[in-house]
Amino acid sequence: MSHKVVFEDLDWELARKIGLTPDEIESLLYFADIESQTVHYFL
């Protein structure tokens, strides 16, 4: 039961002002790497 992620209501200008912590950046890079490899399990 999934659905499209809705992000139009996010305040991107505020997000740019706040930025990301080094830990948040590391986590996002880690998950992007892991998710990019998921497709290989279906080949």
Q: How confident is the prediction along the chain (43 residues), in pLDDT tens digits per residue?
A: 788 889 999 999 999 999 999 999 999 999 888 887 776 666 6
Q: Which helix (H) or strand (E) holds 12?
A: helix 12-18
How far is residue 29 from each of residues 11, 15, 22, 32, 34, measured CA to CA in Å?
A: 22, 18, 11, 5, 9
Model pTM above 0.85: no
